[in-house]
Amino acid sequence: MGKELLLEIGTEEIPAGFLPKAIADMDEIIRKALAGERISHGPVRVLATPRRLCLTVADVAERQEDQLVEKMGPARKVAFDEAGNPTKALLGFARGQGLDVSELEAVSTEKGEYFCARKRIAGVETSSILPAILTKFLVSIPFRKTMRWSSFDLRFPRPIHWILALFGGEVVPLTVENIVSGRETRGHRFMSPDRAPVKGFEDYLDVLRKKFVIVDPEERKRIIREESRKAAEAVGGRPLESEELLETVTFLVEYPTVVCGGFDPAYLAIPREVLVTSMMSHQKYFPVVDEGGKLLAHFLTVNNTLARDPAVVTRGNEKVIRARLSDARFFFEADQKIPLDRRVEDLRKVVYHSLLGTSFDKVERFRALAAVIAGRVCPGKKDTVDRTAWLAKADLDTQMVGEFPELQGVMGREYSLLTGENPAVARGIYEHYLPVVAGGDLPQTDEGAVVSIADKLDTIVGFFGVNVVPTGTADPYALRRQALGILNIILERGYVLDLGDLVEESLSILGPLVKKPPAEVKADVLTFFQARFQNQLMTQGYAYDVVDSVLAAGATDAVQVLQRVKAMDVFKSHEAYRPLATAFKRAGNIIRDFQGGSVDPSLFEGEEEKTLYEAFLDMKEKAQSGISRQDYLEALMEMARIREPVDAFFEKVLVMAKDDRIRFNRLSLLSEISSFFRQVADFSKIVTES
């Protein structure tokens, strides 16, 4: 059994959003650090509150494991001279390793016999190297934003005030800037701020609990859930659940308590999303709903202290939410004085991007593109699609969206319904922003889907056209997410759309705004989409070579690509799969620079050429029927029938014949077969090695 390691880094309040990732990073870093020093250990546990990061590791070995170091020396053939005496090479190697020649060992390798020095380095006491390990650990925790304070060089998200470090109950001596480690922790900032000594992890938890700190975030989360449920039940409702908000408030408090407040039911006339956004996003309150999910005039707030008089706390929170909802009602009523239709023209005053014009210009562009898309996938809805596109961004001019940007689209839907717009248009205005996050909800109407595709594609092509593209992890305009959004919408709706054609349409609409050759922009955009689609398909479990083979065959219709990938995935189990891939790898190498030509059967010299050609023609007719119906698995099963003729051809026929006409004809035959197969996949991309 080893000893327990306990580390607490006490700070000023760290932003809630930093802590979940810090917990995961600390776990990973300490495991790697101990493994790198050959220190075995038991379970690792990382906990956090706004004011402290806590790490504990059970059963940490008291010594490093011994290390066996091997160093290869000279080969036997140069280690001894003709008289059998050690050469300078062997003597020098032994001397460099601090060993006698007799202590070297001969080992056999693929290159012959060599001499090797093996030395066992004894491990040191863990306690002697823990200070260096923990100091390095502390400064290596990554945070997206850090700061310096006083005159110190150390960077951390917030100033550090104390460090508790114990190994087996004994203090691990650390000095980080002006902080010297000890065995003391500190309690809740307001309810019990004084110091308290601890002996180990269990004692640490007990001491802090008595000092109004619940260190375990999962326990705090459980308390918030239970107390919120009880408080909501007292007013006849239940909390509106949100895991995102629950996690946020969990890391905002050290000692959670829940109170329930109320507001004037008249505010319930404001759209639900406005109320929910005001409470959850801006105030971090949980709305209260009835069993049917309808909002009640109550809210729940999570406090970080025990209130002497809960009624005072409740009144304070009610005053805050009343002001928020009063502003929201004012915006809601004021916005309705100007119909959305009239607000569109005001978008001329809003700069979308300095290189791509105003928001009005953007509306005009994706409106034109939406008309093209609608003509291909839902021609009967061209009018409602056009109206949706025209009004899609109008709510950006409203006071409500100015105050609550996350309500764009939501308010467009609400205001359009209030002015009597077609419900399909109203829903499309809201849906055209979807998905708002990766894996989020997708549009469920043609109006929303078509305008969403048009808007997102105009954004992607526009920014590529002015050479503002994602680099590394930097993607300020979320082009990657928007590309995935387009692909997922197309797949969800089953739209038959050629992305290549749509990119050309978008480039034509952008016109002189494009600063690069249109053909270059088109190629870059399609490569960008292909990379997104490739990653997505592989994430879904399809083999990378299957995905590569389909994408390499060329296709800009996402639905068709997915169908072909699925067919190839099933075809992998067919006995002809790898042999065909092997054959077409060979064919691909042979015809790589061949331009192709028509096949002349009269030039066939061997039976294998004739048999392959006849088998191909027979297969082609039947497989083409499957391809035409997009039944790619049926087509592949038909293609599999020419496996034996292909194998016989490569075994018996010399493709690169001396006679120019014979060689050209044989290359043409292989080229024609390969081209036909590429309607489904480029088999030369399949990995054939097991």
Residue 598 belongs to domain with CATH number? 1.10.730.10
The CA dihedral of 551, 556, 558, 562, to the nearest 10 degrees, is: -30
Q: Identify the three-state secondary structure at position 260.
A: strand
Judged against a pLDDT cut of 60, whether residue 187 lies above it is answered with yes
Residue-wise pLDDT tens digits, 209-248: 999 999 999 999 999 999 999 999 999 999 999 999 999 9
* Residue at a domain's end among 335, 352, 385: 335
Of residues 554 and 516, more confidently modeled: 516
- What is the rounded CA–CA span in Å between residue 56 and residue 168? 11
- Residue range 128-139: mean pLDDT, rounded: 96
Residue 298 C-alpha from the chain's centroid: 36
| Assigned domain for 33 exists | yes
* Residue at a domain's end among 335, 352, 369: 335
Residue-wise pLDDT tens digits, 428-442: 999 999 999 888 899
Q: Choose the weakest-confidence range: 112-121, 184-193, 316-325.
A: 112-121
- Whether 520 and 586 share a structural domain: no
| Total number of residues shown for the chain | 690
Judged against a pLDDT cut of 90, whether residue 307 lies above it is answered with no
The pLDDT value recorded for residue 255 is 97
- Whether 185 and 321 share a structural domain: no
For residues 117 and 93, the answer to whether their CB atoms sit within 8 Å is yes
Judged against a pLDDT cut of 60, whether residue 31 lies above it is answered with yes
Of residues 96 and 502, more confidently modeled: 502
- Residue range 376-383: mean pLDDT, rounded: 97
The pLDDT value recorded for residue 98 is 84
Judged against a pLDDT cut of 80, whether residue 274 lies above it is answered with yes
pLDDT band at 309 (very low <50, low <70, confident <90, very high): confident
Judged against a pLDDT cut of 70, whether residue 72 lies above it is answered with yes
Residue-wise pLDDT tens digits, 399-427: 999 999 999 999 999 999 999 999 999 99
Judged against a pLDDT cut of 70, whether residue 343 lies above it is answered with yes
- Whether 406 and 330 share a structural domain: no
pLDDT band at 317 (very low <50, low <70, confident <90, very high): very high
The pLDDT value recorded for residue 569 is 92
Residue 207 C-alpha from the chain's centroid: 40
DSSP letter for 155, please: -
In 122-263, which ranges are E strands?
160-167, 170-171, 175-176, 179-180, 184-186, 195-197, 238-239, 257-262
As a whole-number percent, the residues of the chain with pLDDT over 90 amount to 73
Global pTM value = 0.80
Judged against a pLDDT cut of 80, whether residue 588 lies above it is answered with no
| Assigned domain for 317 exists | yes
CATH of the domain at 526: 1.10.3210
Q: How many domains does the chain have?
A: 5
CATH of the domain at 161: 3.30.70.260
- What is the rounded CA–CA span in Å between residue 497 and residue 373? 8
Judged against a pLDDT cut of 60, whether residue 690 lies above it is answered with no
| Assigned domain for 690 exists | no
- Residue range 261-285: mean pLDDT, rounded: 94
- What is the rounded CA–CA span in Å between residue 42 and residue 683? 49
Judged against a pLDDT cut of 80, whether residue 595 lies above it is answered with no
- Residue range 526-534: mean pLDDT, rounded: 94
- What is the rounded CA–CA span in Å between residue 670 and residue 674? 6
Q: Identify the three-state secondary structure at position 270.
A: coil
- What is the rounded CA–CA span in Å between residue 342 and residue 62? 76
- Residue range 592-621: mean pLDDT, rounded: 87
- Residue range 509-534: mean pLDDT, rounded: 95
- Whether 111 and 85 share a structural domain: yes
- Whether 72 and 58 share a structural domain: no
Of residues 69 and 415, more confidently modeled: 415
Handedness of CA 8, 12, 13, 18 (dihedral sign): negative
- Whether 15 and 146 share a structural domain: yes
Write out the residue range of the structural domain in which residue 133 sits: 3-63+125-210
- Whether 243 and 352 share a structural domain: no
- Whether 358 and 419 share a structural domain: yes
Residue-wise pLDDT tens digits, 97-133: 888 888 888 888 878 888 898 888 888 999 999 999 9
| Assigned domain for 668 exists | yes
- What is the rounded CA–CA span in Å between residue 633 and residue 436? 35
- Whether 55 and 81 share a structural domain: no
In 492-582, which ranges are E strands?
none
- Whether 357 and 286 share a structural domain: no
Residue-wise pLDDT tens digits, 497-507: 999 999 999 99
The pLDDT value recorded for residue 344 is 96
* Residue at a domain's end among 143, 176, 210: 210
54, β-bridge pairs: 8, 47
Judged against a pLDDT cut of 60, whether residue 528 lies above it is answered with yes
- Residue range 361-381: mean pLDDT, rounded: 98
The pLDDT value recorded for residue 689 is 66
Judged against a pLDDT cut of 90, whether residue 653 lies above it is answered with no
Judged against a pLDDT cut of 60, whether residue 85 lies above it is answered with yes
- Whether 287 and 266 share a structural domain: yes
Calculate the average pLDDT of the chain: 93
